[in-house]
Amino acid sequence: MTRLNVMVAVAMFLALVACAEQNAVPAAADRVANPSPVIAKAPRAAPSPIPTRTPVPTATAVAATPPPTAERSPVPTTRPSPVPTWTPKARRATPTATPIPDAVVQAHMTSGKGDEKASDFELTLFGGETLRLSDLEDQVVVLNFWASWCPPCRWEMPSFEKTYQEYKEQGVMFVGVAISDFESAALKFAGLTGVTYPIGLDITGEISRAYRVLSLPTTLFIDHEGNVARRLTNVANEAVLNLFIEGQIRQMTNATSG
């Protein structure tokens, strides 16, 4: 095939294609003007605009308004009640060596005038030893009947111990006889008081009957000759003890010097 022939064939082909396109355009226009109910498609809806993101409003800083403060009503002031002052109670005075009028002493005391002989007795002391009154011959003896349950006895016993310490080197002996008492209670009380002179318990009551002890405390002053010189049926303090012990010492001294 020559070049000419090729060119002719191409021209013919292009002419055919142009003819076909001219025929096809009216048909397409008719289809657009009179669409088939079956084939026609609904017009495409316009695309909805993409929603834009609405910016979140930023909170505007608002100064916090302080809540209204309630006006405090003034607290009523009360006058404080006066605090009661404590007044100390008067303490019981410690017995002192104040002389007691003779009338008071004589009301609770009798004089033996040497007529009543002191009954001899044997007393078992709390330490286990045995004491006989006859062993204290030529001494002034202060014989005290007491009990641990007797308040006046408990009150006077410290005075007895103190006076004993003052006169024991001058021929004076104290002897304590507990009656109607338990040995444990009497011994405990004597220990608390710090008594050092001889003390014991009249278990049978023989000693208290011999000396006709009817009340407590009862104290007898026995002179150096063994006679009951004085009998005291009431509480004795240091003043009373000193008064009659000094009298007995003078009599003993006069008897020895004479």
> What is d(CA 214, CA 149) in angstroms, rounded to the nearest whole number?
16
Q: Check pLDDT > 50 for residue 223.
A: yes
230 contacts 110 by C-beta, under 8 angstroms: yes
23-52 pLDDT, tens digit each: 554 444 444 445 444 444 545 655 555 555
| Within-domain flag for 81 | no
Q: Which residue has the higher pLDDT, 18 or 28?
A: 18
| Within-domain flag for 79 | no
113-147 pLDDT, tens digit each: 456 899 999 999 999 999 999 999 999 999 999 99
What pLDDT is stored for residue 9 in this prediction? Answer: 75
What pLDDT is stored for residue 231 in this prediction? Answer: 96
114 contacts 229 by C-beta, under 8 angstroms: yes
> What is d(CA 253, CA 177) in angstroms, rounded to the nearest whole number?
28
What pLDDT is stored for residue 79 in this prediction? Answer: 59
The mean of the pLDDT values for the chain is 76
CA proximity to 124, closest of 186, 214, 192, 217 = 186
What pLDDT is stored for residue 28 in this prediction? Answer: 45
Residue 41 has what DSSP assignment? P
| Within-domain flag for 169 | yes
Residue 153 dihedral angles phi and psi, to the nearest 5°: -65, -45
CA dihedral 229, 232, 233, 234 (to 10 degrees): 180
Start-to-end C-alpha separation, the chain: 204
The pairing of beta strand 228-232 with beta strand 109-111: antiparallel
| Within-domain flag for 63 | no
What pLDDT is stored for residue 67 in this prediction? Answer: 56
Structure tokens at 41: 């498609």
Q: What is the CATH number of the domain that holds 129?
A: 3.40.30.10
pTM of the model: 0.58
* DSSP three-state, residue 63: coil
Q: How confident is the model at residue 66 (pLDDT cuts 50, 70, 90)?
A: low
| Within-domain flag for 91 | no
Q: Check pLDDT > 70 for residue 83.
A: no
| Within-domain flag for 171 | yes
240-256 pLDDT, tens digit each: 999 999 999 999 888 87
Range of the domain at 230: 102-257
| Within-domain flag for 62 | no
Q: Check pLDDT > 60 for residue 2.
A: yes
State the total domains in the chain: 1
| Within-domain flag for 70 | no
Q: Check pLDDT > 60 for residue 216.
A: yes
Q: Check pLDDT > 60 for residue 160.
A: yes
One-character DSSP codes across 220-234:
EEE-TTSBEEEEE-S
Residue 29 dihedral angles phi and psi, to the nearest 5°: -70, -40
Point out the least confidently predicted range of 8-22, 102-116, 168-182: 102-116
